[in-house]
Amino acid sequence: MKSHVIVTGAAGILGRAVSQCLRDAGYGVTGIDRAPADDGASAYLGGVDLTDGDATRDAVRQAIADRGPLHALVNVAGTFRWETMADGDAATWSTLFDINLRTAVNAVRAALPALREGGGAVVSIGAASAIKAGAGMGAYAASKAGIAKLTEALAEEEKDHGVRVNAVLPSIIDTPANRADMPDADFSRWVAPSAVASVIAFLLSDGASAVTGACLPVTGRC
Ligand SMILES: NC(=O)c1ccc[n+]([C@@H]2O[C@H](COP(=O)([O-])OP(=O)(O)OC[C@H]3O[C@@H](n4cnc5c(N)ncnc54)[C@H](OP(=O)(O)O)[C@@H]3O)[C@@H](O)[C@H]2O)c1
């Protein structure tokens, strides 16, 4: 095994693509998600609510006990809501901050001691809308801007501990959910999950050893 990577949100569309890409590159992957199902091809801890700090810490401990020292963390868990300020619900802001940001904060806090031992790396999934938000994207973009600022601050904090910290900022990923929501769009302009995954694999690799604190747009032709 090249090294051990935890992928959160591993049961989702992008999480599955990232797990597969990293396994193909020779990494040992532990997936963590609240979904109970296992994709069968890698170690997987299901039923974990990553908004719960204690549950996240237990899952990361379990992953290390099962699969050995940890070298990297990929924060994929997240979600999306489109709603305007006029018609939306204030609770959506809490929901998106919990699922898009708190999950990553909890995973980083749980994994950091192990990552420091292994000269590790963190990659988180932000969003292009964190740079320029469109209508209806306020809560989502604000939560993903949180990922960008977590990335920048943590990268500075960890420079002397040997942990690199980066983020990718996709626009629209070509997923079944997006195809169903936007049936008339030109899907060829979107980014394939495998294409996002290969950028993540690069950011984890030795080829990116000089890269930390980057928030990299991965936007295809959107
Ligand atoms: N799809 C896009 O166009 C797009 C664009 C830019 C950025 N992104 C970001 O990319 C990431 C993956 O997106 P995706 O399209 O692959 O979404 P997805 O298929 O819904 O996958 C997200 C996964 O995260 C899990 N999850 C959510 N909250 C969790 C929690 N509290 N604890 C543990 N697991 C949790 C989900 O479980 P449940 O199914 O139980 O919720 C799901 O398995 C997200 O961070 C998303 O915001 C997506």
81-109: pLDDT as tens digits: 999 999 999 999 999 999 999 999 999 99
pLDDT digits (tens, 9 = 90+) for 123-165: 999 999 999 999 999 999 999 999 999 999 999 999 999 999 9
Q: What are phi and psi of 47, to 5 degrees?
A: 70, 20
The per-residue pLDDT for 36 is: 87
- Which residue shows structure tokens 């990929």? 74
* 20: pLDDT strictly greater than 60: yes
Confidence of residue 66 (pLDDT cuts 50, 70, 90): very high
The domain limits of the chain are 4-218
Q: In the structure encoding, which two tokens stand for residue 45, read together?
A: 């801890």
Give residue 121's region: left, alpha or beta (phi > 0; psi -120 to 50). Answer: beta
Q: Give, for ligand 1, the residue of 8, 16, 33, 39 to mutate: max count of ligand atoms closer than 8 Å to Cβ.
A: 33
Q: For the domain bounded by 4-218, which CATH number is listed? A: 3.40.50.720
Sheet holding 43-45, edge to edge: 43-45, 28-32, 4-8, 72-75, 121-125, 164-170, 215-218
pLDDT digits (tens, 9 = 90+) for 167-180: 999 999 999 999 99
Q: Give, for ligand 1, the residue of 80, 144, 151, 199 to mutate: max count of ligand atoms closer than 8 Å to Cβ.
A: 80
